[in-house]
Amino acid sequence: MVTDPRTGKRRPHPMSLAIDEIVPVSQGGSPFEFANTRPTHWICNARRGDGTRKSAPTSLPLPQPWEL
């Protein structure tokens, strides 16, 4: 967890692991179906929101223990 300098709120580390739904839950995708999920950075997921997935996922480094 880190403190967001803009809001002062605690949030996950920006590069920590998050699970992205390829088809967003808001568009009928399942967050529990493995084929509909992929690993992403927390910050990438937060920035993308429910936007469409036009670009292929970039390669991700393995999450470091101190980021989890």
| Binding positions for Zn ion, rule: CB under 5 A | 41, 44
Q: Which is nearer to Zn ion, 23 or 43 (CB)?
A: 43
Provide the β-strand partners of residue 18. Answer: 40
Helix (H, G, I), strand (E, B) or coil at 32: coil
Write down the least CB distance from residue 31 to Zn ion, Å. 19
Cβ-closest position to Zn ion? 41
**What's the CA gap between 68 and 63, in Å, rounded?**
7
Q: Are 31 and 50 in contact (CB under 8 A)?
A: no
Q: Which is nearer to Zn ion, 8 or 11 (CB)?
A: 11
Write down the least CB distance from residue 19 to Zn ion, Å. 13
DSSP state at residue 14: T
Q: Which is nearer to Zn ion, 13 or 24 (CB)?
A: 13
